[in-house]
Amino acid sequence: MPLDSATRPLNSLGFAKPEAETRVLVAMSGGVDSSVVAAQLAEEGYDVVGITLQLYDHGAALAKKGACCAGRDIHDARRVAEQVGFPHYVLDYENAFREAVIEEFADAYLAGATPVPCIRCNERVKFRDLLETARELDADCMATGHYIRRMIGAQGPELHRAADPARDQSYFLFSTTREQLDFLRFPLGGLPDKAATRALAAKYGLPVADKPDSQDICFVPEGNYAAVIEKLRPGAADPGEIVHADGRVLGEHEGVIHYTIGQRRGLGIGGLAEPLYVVRLDVDARRVIVGPKELLATRLVHLGEVNWLGDAPIGTRAEWPVLVRVRSTRPPREAILRPVSEREAVVELLAPEEGVSPGQACVFYETEGTRVLGGGWIRAGG
């Protein structure tokens, strides 16, 4: 007799039923990570359905290396599905992606911010629209190739940093909500390193086992942000002045969109005695303000669109001791989180950080352990 669902042990995805009766939608980018997830779950006997999203006009990207969701990657995902033996579908999300991610990316750059479109893509496309598609397909859960861990705590699912700090993608997933976390699975988060992933790909004989990792933002060829912005917003590269923080005009620039907070190289104002950095962008006046490095130091960070994943509501305390990361490449630093409302907060950094830029994310972590407590979007520093 079959075990009653109340007494049946949980499978590896956390469901009290056989693997063959557990449908899991795998978001497949065509890279090695998501391909390994799909192959591993299929080998374990799960009812796997692969989905790849066509996110942008990939006509110019067919031969481009290092970008996800381009034509080559759709082909690679399809090859993996055919080889392993599970159904695979390509969904046209171009309009949704343009409206939810690309348009905001362009507007944020024009406003002098430094946006992180990969976070918006996870938040507004993969973990919202695609997740809803997974539910419509009667999937029990959705799995991705992200390097992050989902653990069950006292109050339910928790988000934790990946076992491999070098691969951890928690910065890009801070806006994952509790409801989404209930439905998501991240099978690679506990692996020791990327070599372990590639070893699994070789074990399964996947054609993408040696495929290079994606490097650029998918819709930004060769990392040329300015060229994309000029195409989306003609006239965005209007010239203006490069001005020292003390008021001196040092030169001219060919558009504010070519500069980011903290930039030192490529300013076009060589020959000065002191090294200068971009410390502020005055979009309305079309001015790039430069100054010495110390002007980049920031102690207070003002946040909007806060997503809180702690056990108690964020407003139950006036202050939360946390670790924060203000850029994806920075290590977590000690800070005090002070909620202003459920969706707004101010973070005080115990040691000043340089180059804190509007448009970036500020991600919260517990002071001990690996738990991710959420984060918010940087509106201003001070």
Known binder of ligand: residue 53?
yes
Shortest CA distance to 277 belongs to which of 302, 297, 252? 297
Q: Yes or no: say if 226 and 255 are a contact pair by the CB < 8 Å rule.
A: yes
Tell me if 357 is assigned to a ligand binding site: no
Residue 280's nearest CA partner among 266, 299, 298, 268 is: 298
Residue 85, marked binder: no
Distance CA 179, CA 173 (A): 14
Nearest to 171 by CA among 311, 351, 323: 323
- Residue 121 known to be catalytic: yes
Q: Known binder of ligand: residue 210?
A: no
HSE (CB half, 13 Å, CA atoms) of 381?
24
Residue 239, Cβ neighbours under 10 Å: how many?
A: 10
Structural contact between residues 240 and 281, judged by C-beta atoms closer than 8 angstroms: no
Q: Is 69 a catalytic residue?
A: no
Residue 276, marked binder: no
Q: Residue-wise over 242-261: b if at least 16 C-beta within 10 A, else e? A: bbbeeeeebeebebbbbbbb
How many whole angstroms separate alpha carbon 236 and alpha carbon 106? 10
Of all helices (H) and strands (E), which one includes residue 298?
strand 297-308
Which residue type does 125 have?
V
The CA angle 43-45-50, to the nearest 5 degrees, is 75
Tell whether 4 is in a known binding site: no
Kindly calculate the radius of gyration of the chain based on its CA atoms and give it in whole angstroms. Answer: 22
Q: Which of 118, 121, 141, 362 is catalytic?
A: 121
Q: Is residue 29 a known part of a binding site?
A: yes
E strand or H helix at 71, and its extent? Answer: helix 71-84
Beta-strand relationship, 148-153 and 156-161: antiparallel
Integer Cα distance of 357 and 355 in angstroms: 6
57 in a known ligand binding site:
no
Q: What is the DSSP string of 12-51?
A: TTS-SS-GGG-EEEEE--SSHHHHHHHHHHHHTT-EEEEE
28 is in an annotated binding site: yes
* 33 assigned ligand-binding residue: yes
Among candidate residues 118, 141, 218, 362, the one labeled active-site is: 218
CA 262: distance to chain centroid? Answer: 21
Please identify every residue annotated as catalytic: 121, 218
Annotated binding-site ranges: 27-34, 53, 145
Annotated binding-site ranges for ATP: 27-34, 53, 145
